[in-house]
Structure 1
Amino acid sequence: MTAEIAKQIIEQMPHFEVERLHKLMGVQPQTVNVVQEAVNLLYSLKTHDICFTPEECAKYLGKHINTVRTAIKNKQIIAYPVGATYSIPKIQFIEKIIAEHEKNNLGM
């Protein structure tokens, strides 16, 4: 996934999700551009760690691979064809990541 695709995804997020992204990233919303910060974060990740394969996505979500394939077909999961498989951007699962982050912080 390119930073440009990530930027487009973030720009389409509802305002409340952008605020939650600020919280996850530990930045003050009035002092930074969340889109630029998220793009910077993506650039700092290893290239091979930005997208899931369908199998990795199924494992991450705790779902059967056929459930993931159906969700891709129904456009519930954004995926890009790569040969005989798909590349699934991890950024779309930000809600799950944010929820886990908040759960971990409440447990401290």
Structure 2
Amino acid sequence: MSLPRVNYRVVGQDDYTLEITLEPTGAYRVDCGDHTSHKPRQGALEEGQTREIAALIDALGAPREHPAPEGATGFITELTLGVPPDTRVYRVWEGELAEEPDVMALIRALEVI
């Protein structure tokens, strides 16, 4: 089973970032940084994880964006599937994430890798 290339990135306050890259082979890399430093983790998905993530990707609706309202603070999520020129991009402010259950389900599955 092959997946598209997945890049999930969250940018928040106080220099917090989380980036998860998932290759079509199931290999992944997790980079998490904030005011302290965290060593990147790498590995490969198990077969069940691959099936779950593939199903969640298949269930995604059209690419869309929910920017933060003016003056709002918090985290911005960017989920990119595929490689140029065939990419789908989802950008969602954390305050709107509950309004995007398909995007939220995939993000939660990626965050437990």
The alignment's TM-score, normalised by the length of structure 2, stands at 0.30
Greater strand share, 1 or 2?
2
The alignment's TM-score, normalised by the length of structure 1, stands at 0.31
Greater helix share, 1 or 2?
1
